[in-house]
Amino acid sequence: TTKFVAAWLAKIQKLLMKARDDRVALNNEILGSMKVIKIQAWEENFRSKLMKLRQHELTRLWRYFFAGACSVSMYGSTPLLVALGTFAAYTLSGNNLDVAEALTALALFDILRFPLFMLPQIINRIVEAGISFERVREFLLAEEYTRVGEGNLEDNGEVWIQNGTFVYDSKKPRLDDDDEDDNKNGAKGLRGLMLQHQRIMQEAALDRQWEKLLLQAQLLDAEDRIQSLEQKLHPKIACSKRI
């Protein structure tokens, strides 16, 4: 029974530690990338993901406490069950149970009560210590990370981006929210339809302006790429053109 309880507690403890590691890893990622999350307006997405992991961890934690309570209850009732079983076996075997023998047996069982009460707590601590030592051992025996030195990224085997165009959606021009509130709360009927149509036309104009800016940025990147290729193919001609 003790082996079964210890294995059960160890399994629940491992699942709890894994859920806790996932939550802590995401929390560190959020704190380390707070600027990017704010720029991209990803707060709600990361918040929902973090709360989901936290709820999963709380479920594992509740199961671990429930298992610990069951273990304490089982070992706490052991002295009483041992006394009842002993007296029942003694009387059913044909012996007479007198007061002296009963009191002597109860005194011995009372001496065993404290060790049997402390046994589940000791088992829980041994299981937790064993899992902690195992995690430390895996960490110490993990492969060492080799630091990437300075130099060409192609030689170091790293991922690199060339002639990339990066766009932040927060930089996209938009209409003011005050105008939208005025359109919702103010005009009705024909005037409201006219204001709504005007707003749609303004949003379409802003979208075209945004698309134009993107194409201009891509055009500049393409021109820079063409010049770099011309310099590689015809270095002398490129130098004469500059002169």
Q: What is the pLDDT of residues 55-103, one digit of tens each?
A: 998 998 898 888 878 877 777 777 777 778 888 888 888 778 777 878 8
Task: Count the Cβ atoms, other than its own, within 10 Å of residue 191.
Answer: 11
pLDDT for res 4: 75
97 token code pair: 């149970």
pTM of the model: 0.47
pLDDT for res 159: 67
Instruction: Work out the pLDDT band at 235, boundaries 50, 70, 90.
Output: low
Distances in whole angstroms, Cα of residue 1 to Cα of each of 7, 78, 215? 10, 12, 72
DSSP assignment of 19-65? HHHHHHHHHHHHHHTHHHHHHHT-HHHHHHHHHHHHHHHHHHHHHHH
Q: What share of the chain is helix, strand, coil (3-state, %, to 5)?
A: 80, 0, 20
Residue pair 82/112 in contact (Cβ under 8 Å)? The answer is: yes
Q: What is the DSSP letter of 172?
A: S
Distances in whole angstroms, Cα of residue 181 to Cα of each of 39, 76, 104, 171? 25, 67, 87, 22
| Radius of gyration (C-alpha) of the chain in whole angstroms | 37
pLDDT for res 185: 52
pLDDT for res 155: 60
Amino acid at 202: Q
pLDDT for res 70: 81
**Mean of the per-residue pLDDT values of the chain:** 77
Average pLDDT over residues 99-115: 79
pLDDT for res 194: 78
Greater pLDDT, 236 or 15: 15
pLDDT for res 157: 57
- Tell me which H or E stretch contains 220: helix 189-233
Give which of 203, 216, 201 is closest to 172, Cα–Cα.
203
Sign of CA dihedral 156, 158, 164, 167: negative
pLDDT for res 93: 82
pLDDT for res 153: 57
Q: Give residue-wise pLDDT tens across range 168-206.
A: 666 677 776 555 555 555 555 667 677 777 888 888 888
Q: Give residue-wise pLDDT tens across range 1-46.
A: 666 777 787 788 888 888 888 888 888 888 888 888 888 888 888 8
- Tell me which H or E stretch contains 107: helix 99-140
Task: Kindly state the percentage of the chain with pLDDT values over 70.
Answer: 79
87 token code pair: 């007296």
**pLDDT(133) > 80:** yes
Please, which residues have CB within 8 angstroms of residue 79's CB and are 6 or more apart in sequence? Answer: 109, 110, 112, 113, 116, 117
Spell out the alpha helix ranges (H) of 141-188. Answer: 153-156, 177-185
Q: What angle (nearest 5°) sits at the alpha carbon of residue 240, between those of residues 235 and 243?
A: 130
Q: Locate tokens 């890893």: which residue?
A: 25
